[in-house]
Structure 1
Amino acid sequence: MATDPVLEIQGLHVTYAGRPPVPAVRGVDLRVRAGEVVAVVGESGSGKSSLAHAVLGLLPPGGRVTGGGIRFAGTDLLRLSERRLGRIRGAGIGLVPQDPGVALNPVQRVGAQIAEVLHLHGQADRRTAWLRAEEILAEVGLDEPALRARQYPHELSGGMRQRVLIGIALACQPRLVIADEPTSALDTTVQRRVLDLLARLTRRAGSAVLLITHDLGVAADRANRLVIMRQGGVVETGDTAALLRAPAHAYTRDLLAAAPAFAPLSPPPPPAEAPPLLEVAHLCKRFPLGRDRAIAAVQDVSFAIPRGSTFALVGGSGSGKTTTARIVTRFEPASGGEIRFDGADITALRGTALRQLRRRLQLVYQNPYTSLDPRFSIADIVAEPLAAFGLATGQDRRRRAAGLLEQVGLGTGLLDRRPGELSGGQRQRVAIARALAPQPDLLVLDEPVSALDVSVQAQILALLRDLQQRLGLTYLLISHDLAMVRQVSHFVGVMRAGHLIETGPTEAVFAAPREEATRELLAAVPGQGWRASVAGG
């Protein structure tokens, strides 16, 4: 029957080996029908990716299905041999994985990777597979597909690589596509284009979609039905519109409250008038390309940040916002222009003077999984700036590290642990504690919550607001997430192609953007279509 589910999961249990064994999926029931988009939403550790990998028979070592059933188009997948299951992967079920940097073979041309899927499943011979691969690259929106087919993954942007993965997943026109966090590594404008492409191609092929995401805004925009998972189980499921208007479970309500797309839109109250702590005037940065060429990454950028306020630089990938932040922190020299910090010109500082500046100007990196040295204890990581600047010695460093952990909401019981023993949110709190150690005046926050789940994002943002109020900190925030920026920033500057094209108080810029690029960024914020209906429900 046409209404029979393409995918039917009944009472699924997935367990990982350990002492004791770790249950990852607990008794999950789920159905996806032809042409339907079902989004599985939950935080890291909720079991949503284990659920998807169990369907594909791709659980990592130590993981196994310990109960329940999985049927695809009437076939019991758990009873199939690896060889027969391999025939279904790619042909019957396509996968769009999260990270194209890992999923694509770095030493194989992208055209060959698409052609391989076609040839493997008997969709084309070796000659016609390459020609079809070029056609698929054109279908997923890549310009000059014949050229792109001969390129390697590292020669493409993140958005281009994700389009290649969509092409691979849909090459054989599968009945079901599993999209596992397919755009979490992309900025919002690229994310929107990639999701639009995925929706258009799956509709044309009549494919069902199982969308795995932690972003309730993305799920609200894209799914017919939502499945909310927590700690391995389904806590709530239903029609997207009905569930968002009247969530029955407290956890779903917490996710809604934490999601920037559904949070109140009012920015923080403006701080009292204060002189600028940081002033940037006509900043430029050119990177040489050979003997006679250069690329202008930052061009004539000027802004000021009043003491005690938050200024957000926003823009898509390649807009120049991160390069601007690196110049401000003096990790990158300017090609032109001037940087003044607390009234002093710091553009050309060197040696001891630059070292002393770094006590007052600290950087919090984007990814807490890579910014902390895994070999060090948390006590050593937090105390490192104290030792580097000669601010404390011996036991006093450990005592002050304990105080800094308490300041960011962590217990002193973590002092002797290592980063690998902490969650993502705990690691980012440790990174903030380390940045606070030398008592800086300015924190540069480079995408400080983009690697975290939405509820953990909300906790970190609340912490940053609290620290700003208590310590009088000034923030330069780098982000592509305008929904988050609107909640936390007093002022905003929009960058495009190295230029600062619009700047002003956050609410004024967002309420009446002058530039098309700003309007495009605002339009790309996920979940906007549901905000009014949820508020009115």
Structure 2
Amino acid sequence: MTGELLRVRDLAVSYRTSSGTVPAVRGVDLTVHTGQVVAVVGESGSGKSTTAHATIGLLPRGGRIDGGEITFAGRDLTRLSDRRWRGVRGREIALVPQDPAVSLNPVHRIGDQVGEVLRIHGFADRRTAGIEAVELLRRAGIPEPEARARQYPHELSGGMRQRALIAAALAGRPKLIIADEPTSALDVTVQKRILDQLTELAAESGTAILLITHDLGVAADRASHVVVLAEGKVVEAGTVGEVIGAPSQPYTRRLLDAAPSMSGPPPRESRPATEPIVSVRGLSKTYPLPGGRVVRAVDDVSFDIPRGQTLALVGESGSGKTTTARMVLRLETPSAGSVTFDGQDVTASRGEDLRQLRRRIQLVYQNPYTSLNPKFTVEEIVAEPLRAFGVGTRAERRARAAELLDQVALPTTTSRRRPAELSGGQRQRVAIARALALRPELLVCDEPVSALDVSVQAQILRLLAELQAGLGLSYLFISHDLAVVRQLADRVGVLRAGALVELGPAAEVLHQPKAEYTRELLAAIPGRSAQEVR
């Protein structure tokens, strides 16, 4: 073991709120050595990100360190001035934040944002920064980095935006990278490539990584040591073999049991295909790129969604999953092909026909933090679709909202709260309740659990299965997580570069794949080593 780089002892952090002081971290201890990868795992609200942000001096407003010490390379970081912090962040300690949607400047090109880090820390001048930024984007796994460097954040997929953040973190050549859920928005193959790169960097240059994650498979595959947090306290810490292989605490065992797995018997029995509620034939979509080129986001895709069943679309970031879903929803107009819903061609629907289609197909977004209006109460959010379509009186809408909250297992006291007062899992339940308000026949679920920790993830997947059984819903389920897909899907379609490379029953596609690309996706799933350890 090489020398100690980061030492956190008895760390206590709290937040000042309108209702008083709320403790977030209580007596946390952890150590990271040079070149070591240490994973911090736990549920939402366990104090993982607060510990990380305290380490780099970026606690949000209202947050403060109440006690303990944070020592980096022999220096006490809790006593640094703002001016001295500017010399540490980026160059000695870099942060890869979780949400690229709010971490990238929307009015600056991607290449300029990566190049700015190089210039600030003296690794490039204005002339060479652009060239080196392109190389960093290439190393981070972004295809066509020269073209992407000239684009703005909104023109990239979520996965590519996350890779741009990783490129920016690597630019300062830091001694420690704090990676706060760095791959939660990435598909398994890109996740593997990014994590391979980060761990190779640690091995080759002595850079250490503090990995904050809710994915125990990632922690088991990538870290040498694991720290488990619950309610701001360390409940268990040790080597991967000790914590993942033979956990001593019930909380750790519950986390491991809740994690979706590719092993064991299928969670649901195979069901014969029914008549399709949706038929997609020859669907294609092209978009222009800078320089007069075009990208074919979806290329001649065809599939059916059986009534009352789930079709999952999986594939890498940029494979066309979300674009296909948006065309089924008629939020995008196909360049070619057709979408038939309940026997009716809706490809060219407009006006009132399209409005009525929206009643029958609803969307559950990926991010419950941004998909709910922060000014509305939960009751107003859930009842909003009813109001928009003029369904019922005010009293009837309130009653329907209460019924829906009960259906998604939220207490009635939730109705008067606002999204900021709810956990991530509760917010996603609210989003599902809103989607059910108009009694739709098809739900399009776009990465509905990727932002959630494993125990809440398991709850939401059980809820979706129960709702499908009770209401006869059909699902188009978009995900990059094949272990999650296995929990819910009847049929699976695999997309690559906009084309459907494999389609069939879930058991066949996930356990006896025919396409080489599908086998690559399965081989890249994190957590195989965790299953072997256990």
Which secondary structure state, in structure 2, belongs to the residue aligned with residue 520 of structure 1? helix
What is the number of residues matched between the two proteins?
533
Which secondary structure state, in structure 2, belongs to the residue aligned with residue 514 of structure 1? coil
Which secondary structure state, in structure 2, belongs to the residue aligned with residue 483 of structure 1? helix
Q: Which residue of 1 aligns with 2:7?
A: 8
Cα deviation, residue 152, structure 1 = 5.9
For the structure 1 residues 81 and 268, does the alpha-carbon distance in structure 2 shift closer, same or farther, using more than 3 Å as the test?
same
For the structure 1 residues 314 and 133, does the alpha-carbon distance in structure 2 shift closer, same or farther, using more than 3 Å as the test?
closer
Matched residue type, 2:297: A
Q: Which residue of 1 aligns with 2:436?
A: 436
> What CA deviation, in whole Å up to 9, does each residue of 1:208-265 have, x standing for no partner?
2211112111111110000001111101111112211211112211211222247756
For the structure 1 residues 500 and 171, does the alpha-carbon distance in structure 2 shift closer, same or farther, using more than 3 Å as the test?
closer
Which secondary structure state, in structure 2, belongs to the residue aligned with residue 17 of structure 1? strand
Q: Which residue of 2 aligns with 1:324?
A: 324
Cα deviation, residue 359, structure 1 = 2.9
> What CA deviation, in whole Å up to 9, does each residue of 1:488-507 have, x standing for no partner?
10100111222211100001
Q: Which residue of 2 aligns with 1:345?
A: 345
For the structure 1 residues 266 and 147, does the alpha-carbon distance in structure 2 shift closer, same or farther, using more than 3 Å as the test?
closer
Cα deviation, residue 111, structure 1 = 5.9
Q: Which residue of 2 aligns with 1:453?
A: 453
Cα distance in 2, alignment partners of residues 333 and 356 from structure 1: 17
- After superposition, residues 280-429 of structure 1 pair within 5 angstroms as 280-287=280-287, 295-429=295-429
For the structure 1 residues 93 and 512, does the alpha-carbon distance in structure 2 shift closer, same or farther, using more than 3 Å as the test?
same
Cα deviation, residue 480, structure 1 = 1.3
Gaps of 5+ in 2: none
For the structure 1 residues 292 and 269, does the alpha-carbon distance in structure 2 shift closer, same or farther, using more than 3 Å as the test?
same
For the structure 1 residues 356 and 79, does the alpha-carbon distance in structure 2 shift closer, same or farther, using more than 3 Å as the test?
closer
Cα deviation, residue 203, structure 1 = 1.6
1:118–1:124 CA contact under 8 A, matched in 2: yes
Matched residue type, 1:281: R
Mean CA deviation greater in 51-60 or 262-271: 262-271
Q: Which residue of 1 aligns with 2:205?
A: 205
1:256–1:263 CA contact under 8 A, matched in 2: no
- After superposition, residues 122-141 of structure 1 pair within 5 angstroms as 140=140
Cα distance in 2, alignment partners of residues 344 and 88 from structure 1: 61
> What CA deviation, in whole Å up to 9, does each residue of 1:45-94 have, x standing for no partner?
21111111222222222222111111122222223444334333333323
> What CA deviation, in whole Å up to 9, does each residue of 1:104-130 have, x standing for no partner?
445556666556555655667777777
With normalisation by structure 1, the TM-score equals 0.89
Q: Which residue of 1 aligns with 2:268?
A: 268
Q: Which residue of 1 aligns with 2:16?
A: 17
Mean CA deviation greater in 320-329 or 340-349: 340-349
2:508 pairs with 1:491: no
Cα distance in 2, alignment partners of residues 347 and 127 from structure 1: 49
> What CA deviation, in whole Å up to 9, does each residue of 1:161-197 have, x standing for no partner?
5455444434454332222222223222222211111
For the structure 1 residues 200 and 340, does the alpha-carbon distance in structure 2 shift closer, same or farther, using more than 3 Å as the test?
same
> What CA deviation, in whole Å up to 9, does each residue of 1:291-343 have, x standing for no partner?
99754332222212222211111112222222222222222233333333333
1:309–1:475 CA contact under 8 A, matched in 2: yes
2:160–2:317 CA contact under 8 A, matched in 1: no
Which secondary structure state, in structure 1, belongs to the residue aligned with residue 337 of structure 2? strand
Matched residue type, 1:518: T
Cα deviation, residue 283, structure 1 = 2.4
Matched residue type, 2:276: P
For the structure 1 residues 431 and 438, does the alpha-carbon distance in structure 2 shift closer, same or farther, using more than 3 Å as the test?
same
> What CA deviation, in whole Å up to 9, does each residue of 1:141-169 have, x standing for no partner?
66787887777656666555545544443
Cα distance in 1, alignment partners of residues 46 and 114 from structure 2: 32
Cα deviation, residue 31, structure 1 = 1.0
Q: Which residue of 1 aligns with 2:500?
A: 500
Matched residue type, 2:314: V
Matched residue type, 1:436: L
For the structure 1 residues 86 and 407, does the alpha-carbon distance in structure 2 shift closer, same or farther, using more than 3 Å as the test?
same
Q: Which residue of 1 aligns with 2:31?
A: 31
Cα deviation, residue 134, structure 1 = 6.5
- After superposition, residues 164-243 of structure 1 pair within 5 angstroms as 164-243=164-243
For the structure 1 residues 270 and 119, does the alpha-carbon distance in structure 2 shift closer, same or farther, using more than 3 Å as the test?
closer
Matched residue type, 1:11: D
Mean CA deviation greater in 32-41 or 127-136: 127-136
Mean CA deviation greater in 164-173 or 376-385: 164-173
1:366–1:447 CA contact under 8 A, matched in 2: yes
Cα deviation, residue 458, structure 1 = 0.9
1:261–1:526 CA contact under 8 A, matched in 2: no
Matched residue type, 1:10: R
Cα deviation, residue 451, structure 1 = 2.2
Which secondary structure state, in structure 1, belongs to the residue aligned with residue 318 of structure 2? coil
With normalisation by structure 2, the TM-score equals 0.90
Which secondary structure state, in structure 2, belongs to the residue aligned with residue 91 of structure 1? coil
2:159–2:317 CA contact under 8 A, matched in 1: no
Which secondary structure state, in structure 2, belongs to the residue aligned with residue 339 of structure 1? strand
Cα deviation, residue 453, structure 1 = 2.0
For the structure 1 residues 424 and 145, does the alpha-carbon distance in structure 2 shift closer, same or farther, using more than 3 Å as the test?
closer
**Same amino acid, percent of matched pairs:** 61
For the structure 1 residues 337 and 220, does the alpha-carbon distance in structure 2 shift closer, same or farther, using more than 3 Å as the test?
same
1:91–1:172 CA contact under 8 A, matched in 2: yes
Mean CA deviation greater in 375-384 or 491-500: 375-384
Cα distance in 1, alignment partners of residues 483 and 201 from structure 2: 28
For the structure 1 residues 290 and 139, does the alpha-carbon distance in structure 2 shift closer, same or farther, using more than 3 Å as the test?
closer
Which secondary structure state, in structure 2, belongs to the residue aligned with residue 236 of structure 1? strand
Matched residue type, 1:6: L
Cα distance in 2, alignment partners of residues 307 and 145 from structure 1: 42
Query: Which is greater in Rg?
Result: 1
Gaps of 5+ in 1: none
Which secondary structure state, in structure 2, belongs to the residue aligned with residue 59 of structure 1? coil
Matched residue type, 1:299: D
Mean CA deviation greater in 171-180 or 451-460: 171-180
Cα distance in 1, alignment partners of residues 342 and 131 from structure 2: 60
